[in-house]
Amino acid sequence: MEQENRSVRDSNFELQSKARAAETATKRMQSEVADKDKQLRIMTDQNSELLRLLESEESLTTQLQGEVAELRAELDELRQKHSTLLFTAKTHEELATKAAKEGQLRAEEIRLLRVEGEQLKQQNTGIYIYCLVDNDSERDKYKC
């Protein structure tokens, strides 16, 4: 009987040791589960925050893409206007150059006409004087 008692005590001691070990393992596992649960909640919160940030970035990206499209359209419009202005400026420059040349030709023509007018005045004065002298000499002929 003593051997049975000892055997039962040893079994009891073993079972108590196993129960304590199991209890310790259970507490450790519960602690680990609580830690994992806490980590899971933190990761869920972080995931939610990242998702919110991603949605915000996507919204901002969509807005910026719209602005970029508007700016590109405006740039194309400005390029067209620039091309039109360059063409107009070139045309006006050509017209101005042509007008300047015509102005120079007219100025030269006016200068030549003035010179010719002066020459004609001098010729008229010479003829007038000749006529006066000739007229005086003719009168003198008939006076006698």
Name the residue type at position 42. Answer: I
DSSP percent split of the chain into helix, strand, coil, nearest 5: 100, 0, 0
Q: CA 15, 17, 23, 28 torsion: positive or negative? A: negative
Q: For position 4, what pLDDT does the model report?
A: 82
- Token couple for 142: 């008939």
Which regions of the chain does DSSP assign to beta strands (E)? none
Query: Is the whole model's pTM more than 0.75, yes or no?
Result: no
Per-residue pLDDT of 93-132, as tens digits, reads 999 999 999 999 999 999 999 999 999 999 999 898 888 8
What is the rounded distance in angstroms from the CA atom of residue 125 to the CA atom of residue 115?
Answer: 15
How many domains does the chain contain in total? 1
Note down the domain range covering 89.
1-144
Exposure letters 51-83 (e unless 16+ CB within 10 A, then b): eeeeeeeeeeeeeeeeeeeeeeeeeeeeeeeee
Which one, of 69, 50, 48, lies nearest residue 58 by Cα?
50
Per-residue pLDDT of 53-80, as tens digits, reads 999 999 999 999 999 999 999 999 999 9
